[in-house]
Amino acid sequence: MRKIAKVSNNEEVKRIMLYECEDGVYIFEYDNEHDSSATADYLQDSVEIVYEIAEEDYGVKPGDWQEISNPMEFCQGDRIEPVRVVGRNTGNPQWGKLEKLVSGNWVPLIE
């Protein structure tokens, strides 16, 4: 499960994402409102803890969350659109190089 929410009245954090995976539940911070890599991430034990943190630290209430689809296999959990590390799908990741799925084709992501 993944959810995103806008953050108001915070100079540094503009939105957050909740991502529940095998490791636990991540809360990702972003310094902008468009799809990008997270600027920080924090791993928690449960969704309930993330909801508490979101409300206390960011002012995000339960009704503010918008559910989004889970990432595709090998894709980044903190990105909304399908983005992956080049070569991750073949077991030869090229860290620092990203590619994005556009119209069924993987193309280099230039940020």
Tens-digit pLDDT profile for residues 92-110: 999 999 999 999 999 999 8
Q: Which residue has the tokens 């090998």?
A: 74
Percent of the chain surpassing pLDDT 70: 100
CA distance 83 to 59: 29
Say how far apart CA 67 and CA 1 lie, in whole Å.
8
Task: Give residue 106's pLDDT.
Answer: 97
Place 72 in a pLDDT band, splitting at 50, 70 and 90: very high
The sign of the CA dihedral 19, 38, 33, 64 is positive
Q: Which two tokens stand for residue 15?
A: 């939105």
For 40, list phi and psi in degrees, rounded to 5. Answer: -160, 155
- What are the pLDDT digits (tens) for 7-47? 998 999 999 999 999 999 999 999 999 999 999 999 999 99
Residue 110: its pLDDT value, please?
Answer: 86
pLDDT of residue 13: 98
